[in-house]
Structure 1
Amino acid sequence: MLGEVHSLENDFPEYKDTIYKLLAADTEFAANNKKYNELDSEIRKLELNNAPIDDEAMQQLKHDRATLKDALYQRLASA
């Protein structure tokens, strides 16, 4: 859905406590989470404004977000 928030807390509520612990204790996780949230926000704004960028650029943003999300999830699952 357009404009949907894909934060880790929303998508992985079962890891909420782990997310907060890692944000406090793991600077790499915190930095990647910040970058992920920034990408998600940028994508959401573009979607809500009828994506004023070309399809290839939008797909690259979504790919980058998915790659970060996968890495963050792997860290959550191994914590």
Structure 2
Amino acid sequence: MSNTPHQLAEEFPEYVGKIRHLREVDGHFHRITEDYDVVNRAIHRAETNIEPADDFHMADMRKERMRLKDEIYGTLTRLETAEERP
């Protein structure tokens, strides 16, 4: 079992500035990053036995974190591609 925190800045170091900017100007992006942070902290607390969770709940939380991470990454890369177009 891993107990690495998985902070967005560590997951996407090349997008730290863009993440900060989008959190300020895009309400939906702000909400999904907040949701990611909440589920990520819950997973970390469960993995370190601060707030233990059963295997089914852990699996559900990890799936939700991955879904949110995919959505965040998709937003970041879509914007990057759009910015590169003339």
Whether the TM-score (by the shorter chain) exceeds 0.5 is: yes
Residue 8 of structure 1: how far off its partner (Å): 1.4
Partner of 2:14: 14
Q: For residue 68 of structure 1, what is the amino acid of its counterpart?
A: L
1:53-68 aligned within 5 A: 53-68=53-68
* 1:7-54 deviation per Cα after TM superposition (whole angstroms, max 9, x unaligned): 211111001111111011100000100010010000000000077222
Q: Does the 8 Å CA contact 2:6/2:40 hold for their aligned counterparts? A: yes
State the distance in 2 between where 1:50 and 1:37 align.
17
Asked if structure 1 preserves the Cα contact closer than 8 Å seen for 2:23 and 2:30, the reply is: yes
Which stretches in structure 1 are left out of the alignment for 5+ residues?
Answer: none
* Alignment RMSD: 1.6
Identity %: 32
> 1:77 is paired with a residue of what secondary structure?
helix
Aligned to 1:31: 31
> Structure 2: how far apart are the matches of 1:78 and 1:3?
30
Q: Does 1:42 align with 2:34?
A: no
Length, aligned pairs only: 79
Could you tell me which runs of 5 or more consecutive residues in structure 2 were left unpaired when the two chains were aligned. Answer: 80-86
TM-score of the two chains, using structure 1 as the length reference: 0.91
Is residue 63 of structure 2 the alignment partner of residue 69 of structure 1? no
- Determine if contact 2:45/2:52 at 8 Å carries over to the other structure: no
Partners of 1:53 and 1:21 in 2: how far apart? 34
CA distance in structure 1 between the aligned counterparts of 2:52 and 2:7, rounded to whole angstroms: 23
Query: TM-score scaled to structure 2, two decimals?
Result: 0.84
